[in-house]
Amino acid sequence: MCHTRIEIAGPLGDRYDEILTDDALAFLALLHRRFAGTRAELLHARQERAEAIAAGADPGFLPETRAIREDPSWRVAGPGPGLDDRRVEITGPTDRKMTINAMNSGAKVWLADHEDANTPTWANMIEGQLNLKDAIRGTIAYTSPEGREYRLGETTPTIVFRPRGWHLVESHLLHVDPHGHRHPASASLVDFALYVLTNARALVESGSGPYLYLPKMESHLEARLWDEVFTLAEEHLGLDHGTIRATMLIETLPAAFEMEEMLYELRDHCAGLNAGRWDYIFSMIKCYRARGAAHVLPDRSEIGMTVPFMRAYTELLVSTCHRRGAQAIGGMSAFIPNRRDPEATERALARVAADKRREAGDGFDGSWVAHPGLVEVARAEFDAVLGDRPNQMDRRRDDVHVTAEDLLDVRIEGAQVTAAGVRANVAAGLRYVESWLRGTGAAAIDNLMEDVATAEISRSQLWQWIRLRVVTAEGNLVTPSYVGRVLDQVLAGLPRAEADRFDDAAELMRELCLGEDFPTFLTLPAYARFLREPAPAAA
């Protein structure tokens, strides 16, 4: 029998030793020793729940936790220092240039993303941690190949770091269990451990704290696991209990039925909830992908925030948060300005303004944008509602009464599946996956800033339309051969470069859309096949 340990199985680059310290690896080993088994059990429970929904059991509010929902007395910890005002948050990956741009954006918060907007190459993950270390200490700088210099301004946002979800692994760090068996480490624990070991004390000393966004959770038991991880980390680092604060993304259908319980489980470390709208749409499609025509969603362009199931989900989120002293943060506006197309920019700004106006009016305390050029327009809409107040957590939304049926109501009057919708899904999925394979997880496509959720919606809709033999408005039966022909046409029409990854992307899209199996997340086969790097040669 041997002790649990973490082995480095990826190549070491410049300054990697500043992140992959002996202390960090020992802490990561401790986290795996304590929590790897629970993580595995919870992932198995996810699979069982998915199979039950596929077999006809609709999700619902849990009878066994009714007492938590009906107890009016408990509250969450709420925002930590620097998180009171979150009216505009900018999201983005942690490469060096994007880090500086986000820190200089004028937003109140930067969501520093190691999840859906960041391809998890080994270099991206470790160098992203280095960039965060330098940004937190105010030493980060960058000079572009053209000679342009980037430095931090005087005012910077509060950083909220998003680690990868519980379902993902980091193959370049191996968890060696007490029997000597080697397993890829939990990506969630890797990202969390490296960030807090490197930065927690520096963040606290600066008047902020180690704050996180927690993605892809599906149950209150997964929130409980994070709470236990945070408590152990605080004990290990000598931090006061509750120093770590987290905002949970409600971006899966099962989680929508357990918002209150998730807040309860994380209550000592909880700042709020976020409406992860695009992944939520993906989750709805995924959960009901084989349940019949009544559950087919139309073209992605028809699924807006005012359709019944999305409206119910966001209103429930705001009312749940404010009843429990938590912040409610709105979703991503993917529209981005285009300097070469003033008309497209004008349309983008108008759409972002309308989206943020609706969210502020609904009671959200802040929202996301994907580009520095959108910070001002989003801020204006929240300023109009908030004024000098940091948030509107005192607005209880007691008028909201959402049922399980409301959350599952996918009817969209007059909406259809069209040939253009099929082509749009093929094109968006192909172009995004190609960008992801090149290491760029936040991709500007057709004046939208896209992340993994775009490709997930695209491929899951195509898979569902094929399996349920959907007929487009034009009379085309959506079959594997039909989608395959569209994929060939889109691929043939794309500009190519010697270093592009379109052939790999097309191969992956065929597997994801046309195959019998439905991978729960496209990043799982994509990571396993394309992003693993060779271990360093033995000395």
Instruction: Show which residues are catalytic.
Output: 162, 451
- Cβ contact 437:279 at 8 Å: no
Tell me the H-state helices in 363-467. 375-386, 404-407, 419-437, 452-467
Q: Match 């270093």 to its residue by tokens.
A: 499
Burial track 67-106 (b if 16+ CB lie within 10 A, e otherwise) = ebbeeeeeebbbbbebbbbbbbbbbbbbbbebbbbbbbbe
d(CA 98, CA 444): 14
Cα–Cα dist 194/147, whole Å = 32
Q: Would you state the structure tokens that stand for residue 125, as one six-digit string? A: 């993950």
Query: CA 170, CA 173: separation in Å to the nearest integer?
Result: 6
Q: What is the dihedral sign for C-alpha 213, 215, 218, 221?
A: negative
Query: What's the rounded Cα separation, in Å, for the pair 232 and 38?
Result: 15
Nearest to 223 by CA among 92, 76, 114, 366: 76
H-type alpha helices, 305-371 = 308-323, 342-362
- Size (the chain), residues: 539
Beta-carbon count within 10 A of 396 CB? 14
Report helix, strand or coil for 174. strand
DSSP one-letter string for 183-229: EEEEHHHHHHHHHHHHHHHHHHHTT---EEEE-S--SHHHHHHHHHH
**295 to 22, 269, 275, 465: CA distances (angstroms):** 51, 37, 22, 11
Tokens of 230: 């945070």
Q: Which of 27, 76, 77, 32 minimizes the C-alpha distance to 235? A: 27
Of 176, 219, 191, 253, the closest CA to residue 42 belongs to: 219
Contact 409, 419 (CB under 8 A): no
Cα–Cα distance, 59 to 53 (Å, whole number): 7
Nearest C-alpha neighbor of 314 from the set 259, 245, 387, 370 = 259
**C-alpha torsion sign, points 231, 270, 40, 219:** positive
Are 226 and 246 in contact by the 8 Å Cβ rule? The answer is: yes
In angstroms, the CA 449 to CA 101 distance is 15
